[in-house]
Amino acid sequence: MINANRAGAVLTVDLNVLVKNYAFLKGQIGNNTVCSAVIKSDAYGLGLEPVALRLAQSDCRSFFVALMDEAITLRSILEKHDKKAEIYLLNGVAEGAESDLDNYDITPVLNSLTEIERWSSHAKRNGRRDAILNVDTGMSRLGLDTRELDTFEANPEIADGIKITYVMSHLACADDRDAMKNREQRELFDNYRVRLGLQHASFANSAGILLGPEYHYDLVRPGAAIYGIQPITDEINKITQAINLKGKILQTRFVDSGGTVGYGATYQTIRKSRLATVAVGYGDGYFRTLGNRGFGYIGTNRVPVVGRVSMDLITFDITDVPEHEAAPGTMIELIGPHYTVNELAIDAGTIGYEILTGLGARYSRNYIGSS
């Protein structure tokens, strides 16, 4: 852990809020539907171990990750703390990874005929093995396409030895409640389920849960909403932001009217100004696109980013903040109740997911509600 006194910024993660978000999502589904948690990419940047353990304490019993190393690390964390859970690997069965899947009790998502054949061959040698079957209904990323589905339907023996626990797909436009694509994908998904004769299904991500019960099926896979990102565009619900990021003022200075700030001199003062330099930059995941666009808060005072964001430093115009409230050592809110992840993402020209997963390793991290 990085010492807060030495760090340029402090990232606070409220695990109690995170659990409340999970409980809210779980409350939207029926008792017969499993609510898993997607904790890939270091739990969306918030820390795999503290997040996984807190969710496990809150009766989350199934997790999805993207990479084998994430799955192995997660299994080790859970076992160290005597927690049991299903771990699902979204990116499938890589050649040579079969023994790791067995050794760490990881269930793969099968995304192609090649992966089905590979896992079936392993199962025939070592005994029946579980898997989730992924079908593509409109994302054109992972999952069996129409041609592969035709082949699989005609040759079901390809999956001999495999117990398919769920068939899954992924919504492309769930963040838009009115998108016709949602219904089109659901209808196609139901068609595939009937063709393949597979009963248990998983379809909904965070936003899909809020689209209604017809999207829930037997297992839902929320991710972003657990961490406080509003899942549906232009809708506010009981999802609450789980993080707060504050950067430390290193130095303040007065600059005369007409003074320039930062690389490229992209900002010029129009009055005598007081500036604060803060120990955060794009090396910490604070986007370079926030130069001359982003904001921070000192108390309730909104202060704009001026000049370019550099690797380790940002500059704010604090002219309108009383000097005693913005001295060196004062913390500026970079993400928090006044300036949310979603708002920061809009100003950065990206999405909240990228903001969270880009949170830097140089922050001192403070976990509230940690076990």
Give the residue numbers marked as catalytic.
Answer: 40, 263
Per DSSP, the residues of 271-332 read S-EEEEEES--GGGT--GGGTTT-EEEETTEEEEB-S---SS-EEEE-TTS-GGGS-TTPEE
Q: Evaluate whether 136 touches 104 at the Cβ level (below 8 Å).
A: no
Q: Evaluate whether 36 touches 26 at the Cβ level (below 8 Å).
A: no
Backbone phi, psi, residue 54, to 5°: -65, -40
H helix intervals, 155-294: 180-196, 206-210
SS3 192: helix
Say how far residue 150 (Cα) sits from the centre of its chain: 34
Residue 217, both tokens: 């099926």
Q: Evaluate whether 8 touches 279 at the Cβ level (below 8 Å).
A: yes
Nearest to 66 by CA among 49, 94, 91: 91
Close Cβ partners of 171 (under 8 Å, ≥ 6 residues apart): 182, 185, 203, 204, 205, 207, 208, 211, 215
Pairing mode, strands 201-202 and 162-168: parallel
Backbone phi, psi, residue 226, to 5°: -60, -35
